[in-house]
Amino acid sequence: MERADVAIIGGGLIGCAAAWRLAQRGARVVLLEAGEHNAGASGQNAGSLHFQLERRFLEQGEALAEQAARIATLNVLAVADWRAIECELGADLHVSMAGGLMVAETREEVALLEAKAAREAAAGLAVRLIDGDAARALAPYLAKSVIAACHLTDEGHADPRALTPALAAAARAAGAAIREGCRVEAIKTPAPGRFVLRTAAGGVTAAQLLIAAGAWSASVAAMANIHLPMVPVALQMNATERIAPAIPHLIQHVGRRLSLKQAHAGNVLIGGGWPARMAVRSDGGFDLARRPALSETSLAGNLRAAIDVVPMLARLNLIRTWTGTTAITADQLPIVGPVPRLPGLWVAGGGSAFTLGLTFARLIANAMGGERVRELDLFGPARFDHLNSFMGAA
Amino acid sequence: MDVAIVGGGPAGQAAALQLAAAGIAATVIDEQPRAGGQILRQPPSAVAVRDWLAGRSYRALKAQLAAFEDCNAVTWRGGTSVIGLSMNEDGAGLTLADGSGVERLHARHVLVAAGCHDLAVPMPGWTLPGVQPAGAVQAMLKSQQMLPEGATLFAGTHPLQLIVAAQLVRAGATVAGVHFAQPLRRFATWLSPAAAIARSADLADALAALATLRRARVPVRFGSAISAIEGAMRVERAIVDGVPIACDQVALCYGFVPQSALPRMAGATMRAAGPAGGFATVADDWMASSVPGLWVAGETTGVQGAPAAACEGAIAGIGIAQTMRAFDLREAERRAAPFRAAYVQHRTFAAVLDRIADPRDHFPPIAPDTIVCRCEAVPRAALAGGSANAVKLASRCGMGLCQGRNCEPTLLRLLGAPDGPGFTARFPARPVALGMLAGD
């Protein structure tokens, strides 16, 4: 039985970053990854660094928008984390923070932008609302149909292919053990603050356990007899052929599902929350082991929105549409913090975890190290503790 | 629509003709403007080519092509790529792209008879202009009567290079040499009675090719391996057995890999295709894949040559017609019997050819800076990781325009996992303009 201070389940961005931060603090860390690191949403997402409030928070009515706006406090922290990360890791992650524009094409959308900008200003995000001509002065490739935009100078993109491997390397260098192909088959909690994990390659016992398994987090938590209201969602994204640098900004849309940027390699990556279709098991549950199926409707809709906003894209070739699975939570806010029902159990994940993952990992490592981390107060699993009234160590 | 056939080569034609005989119309889709596939690559209709493919082994295939082109039950969709294939309870959803736009097509049954492509073989210098797969050299010759300029050196393990070299000589081009990496004794199995009887026409064509090359004083060498290609801006010489040989073109011929993008996209069960690598679609006795409604024939099920492909296509056509209740199983067996009998012989020959051409012990060395993925310019040294998908994510190998079609067999070989799993198949099978997909 291998002994550790902290066991982490999940070799994605959050798991590897937390392993690195915790190992830096001197903890003995063992990270267990069922497959290969960076194989899930951490490596499959399109690499946006979006710090403006997301469209998905704005489309569910005023009350939810108000609640979701709390995430802006994390966005402010994430800007600083991203500005520092290449230096800290000593790695080229193709981080580009040349600014982002969230565009509007209708009067209703302009009103949404205005309300959004007010919430962001209150949270300390320096968003600037500009008209269509000012947007085109910044980004001449935008269509005439763009009548307003919110500009945030810190937004941009980074390379999801590079970040998690660099974090894993840093974690190993700091002394963490990262085990790939090591699926956790059972979680036992023989005593408070003691977790025993069974894998085919042997057991691991740890005083603290962090679940950072993305779309698989809810099923991993089930092994510890805990409900975690994180649900998998399948998205699809598109890559064009490579072209010379033409689009330096992150472009998003306040009223339509659209997020696009030109990656370091030259491909334009187009997404924005268009769904793919998850496979279903014969017993009715979603089958996360199988690749989600492409949706032609999403494909056409996504490309339509992209071309409407950036007309030059119509001429480019699509070379790849890919699908991936991520997780969102019951209230759309991330779940990052301790599980009250099971002392020593921690969770981090639940949406926007490329942009925010470094921040989740840094804050949770501090909290697991015993610090009081007020920034996480709003995001802990405690807000869903009622779901676990009948669960836990019973 | 009842039946869509992807590929107008020998397998697709044979299937369409069997369906027509059962009173079932089929739409046949092919990237080339005219039917024939790679084996009978036709010149553009405006170009008249004298003695087009006069060899003995082409006769039966040409007769089938003529019948296909005269068949009223066939709707021909040339110049059209199938870029997506998805299967559900109702059948197949195909996404087609041609010069003018993208179109969705639904068919109760789809037969993928998409043929094969040359195995790409990396070695130092293989990305220089003037290096081509032998199949591409032959396609230019067959369809355009275009000859490479200067002297072409052939190198590899597949006997097709003899045929192509002789076709070049007959068309008036210069061949610097034909180099087989394997020893001559590997060819002895060809002369076994079973193989010789099975495909005497091919043997005759090969012997005729050898005679042509000898008359033209083209050196044909065995146990003679290419290890690098050199030149400043384009091919100037090939290094063969450590010795430079001056040439202007290099045609590489190590074998063929099934086109597998569409069956993989549709989730069909695949298997390792054979010594040259790649993936073949698993099929039952009637050429049905593991996915209901998806049928496969020809090189898609494993590279066995055009006559075997035509047999499989005919069996698939009969199988589809039977499934559509055009006749009962007994009648289907009666119709299929001659094709099953012929298929056994062609298969025997294909197995012999596989053994002769087996490239696995003869691949040229790949240096750390040798490009493995041409599309993304990824050198061997950058390939690190566990699975093919992980290497793709980490290195961009396979992320380019060809969707990994060319580098996948080499990558899997370098990973020590030639049987896969390979890259996850992604839409679209061919690049297509965003505007067309958005419905512009």
B23-40 pLDDT, tens digit each? 999 999 999 999 888 887
B196: pLDDT confidence band, cut at 50, 70 and 90?
low
B43-47, B140-144, B416-420, range with the lowest pLDDT: B43-47
Distance CA A129, CA A264 (A): 27
- A330-335 mean pLDDT: 91
B386 at A interface, C-beta within 8 A: yes
Q: What's the whole-number mean pLDDT along residues A85-99?
A: 97
**Range picked from A42-56, B312-326, B339-353 for highest mean pLDDT:** B312-326
**Spatial separation of the C-alpha atoms in residues A122 and A80, rounded to whole Å:** 18
Within 10 A of B380 (CB to CB), how many other CB atoms are there?
19
Partner residue facing B439 (CB), from A239, A300, A317:
A300
Same domain for B272 and B284, yes or no, is yes
Same domain, B62 and B46: yes
Q: What is the CATH number of the domain that holds B103?
A: 3.50.50.60
Q: What is the mean pLDDT of chain B?
A: 92
Q: Out of A216-225, B93-102, B188-197, which region has the weakest mean confidence (pLDDT)?
A: B188-197
CB B297, CB B113: distance < 8 Å? yes
Inside any domain, residue B334? no
Q: Is the pLDDT reported for residue B198 higher than 60?
A: no
Residue A106 pLDDT greater than 70, yes or no: yes
What value does the mean pLDDT take over residues B316-330? 97
Same domain, B230 and B288: no
Q: How many CB atoms lie within 10 A of CB B285?
A: 10
Residues B214 and B180 in one domain: yes
| pLDDT of the residue at A284 | 87
Q: What is chain A's mean pLDDT, rounded? A: 94
Indicate the pLDDT class of residue B347, thresholds 50, 70 and 90: confident
Q: Which residue of A has its CA nearest to B424?
A: A291
Distance from CA of B401 to the nearest CA of A (A): 6
Closest CA–CA distance from residue A274 to any residue of chain B (Å): 14
Q: What is the domain range of residue B384? A: 371-414
Average pLDDT over residues B341-363: 91
Query: Which pLDDT does position B63 carry in this prediction?
Result: 92
pLDDT of residue B50: 58
If asked whether residues B9 and B83 sit together in one domain, one would say yes
Q: How far is A256 from chain B (nearest CA, A)?
A: 15
A202-211/A2-9 β-pairing: parallel
Based on the fold, state whether residues B112 and B233 are members of the same structural domain: no
- Whether A277 and chain B come into contact, CB under 8 Å, resolves to no
**CB of A265 within 8 Å of any CB in chain B?**
yes
Inside any domain, residue B229: yes
| Amino acid identity, position B384 | A
List chain B residues with CB under 8 Å of A318.
428, 431-434, 437
Predicted confidence at residue A353, as pLDDT, reads: 93
Q: Which of B82, B406, B434 to mutate to test the interface with A (most CBs of A within 10 A)?
A: B434
- Same-domain pairing of B113 and B132: no
Q: What is the rounded distance in angstroms from the CA atom of residue A295 to the CA atom of residue A274?
A: 9
pLDDT band at B45 (very low <50, low <70, confident <90, very high): low
Range B300-307 average pLDDT: 93
**Nearest C-alpha in A relative to B432:** A317
Mutate which of A309, A320, A322 to disrupt the B interface (most B C-beta within 10 Å)? Answer: A320
* Positive or negative: CA dihedral B166, B167, B173, B179: negative
Q: Do B236 and B262 have their domain in common?
A: no
Of A291, A293, A314, Cβ closest to residue B435:
A314
Residue B351 domain-assigned (yes or no): no
End residue of a domain, out of B294, B327, B360: B327
Is residue B348 over pLDDT 90?
no
A394 falls in which pLDDT band (50, 70, 90)?
low
Quote the pLDDT of residue B352: 86
Are A240 and B434 a contacting pair at CB < 8 A?
Answer: yes
Query: Is B366 inside a domain boundary?
Result: no
Query: Which of these ranges, A7-11, A56-60, A187-191, A237-241, has the smallest mean pLDDT?
Result: A56-60
Distance from CA of B376 to the nearest CA of A (A): 9
Which residue of chain B comes nearest to A166, CA vs CA? B394
Fold of A2-42+161-229+331-388: FAD/NAD(P)-binding domain (3.50.50)
Query: Are A235 and A299 within 8 A, CB to CB?
Result: no
Together in a domain, B169 and B199: yes
Q: Hey, are the CB atoms on B399 and A320 less than 8 Å from each other? A: yes
pLDDT > 90 fraction of chain A, expressed in percent and rounded: 86
Q: Indicate the fold that domain A98-155+231-329 takes in CATH.
A: D-Amino Acid Oxidase; Chain A, domain 2 (3.30.9)
The structural domain count of chain B equals 3
Lookup result for tokens 């549950």: A285
Same structural domain for residues B127 and B246?
Answer: yes
pLDDT, tens only, A345-362: 999 999 789 999 999 999
Tell which of B254, B274, B291 closes a domain: B254
Q: Distance between CA B245 and CA B126 in Å, rounded?
A: 15
Domain end call among B327, B359, B379: B327
Spans of all domains in chain A: 2-42+161-229+331-388, 98-155+231-329
Mean pLDDT score, A50-75? 83
Residues B134 and B232 in one domain: yes
Whole-angstrom Cα Rg for chain A: 21
Q: Are residues B128 and B213 in the same domain?
A: yes
CA distances from B38 to B115, B116, B134 (A): 8, 9, 12
> Percent of chain B, pLDDT > 70?
94
Please tell me the predicted confidence (pLDDT) of residue A332. 87
Q: Does residue B429 sit within a domain?
A: no
pLDDT in tens, A317-332: 999 999 999 999 988 8
Average pLDDT value for residue range B210-222: 96
Q: What is the dihedral of CA B226, B227, B232, B234, to 10 degrees?
A: 40
Which of the four pLDDT bands, split at 50, 70 and 90, describes residue B266?
Answer: very high
Chain B window 403-422: which residues touch A at a Cβ cutoff of 8 Å? 403
Q: How much is the average pLDDT of A361-376?
A: 96
Q: Quote the percentage of chain B above a pLDDT of 90.
A: 78
| Closest listed residue to residue B314, CA positions, set B333, B336, B299, B329 | B336
Asked whether A8 and A208 are in contact (CB, 8 A), the reply is no
For the complex shown, is ipTM > 0.90? no
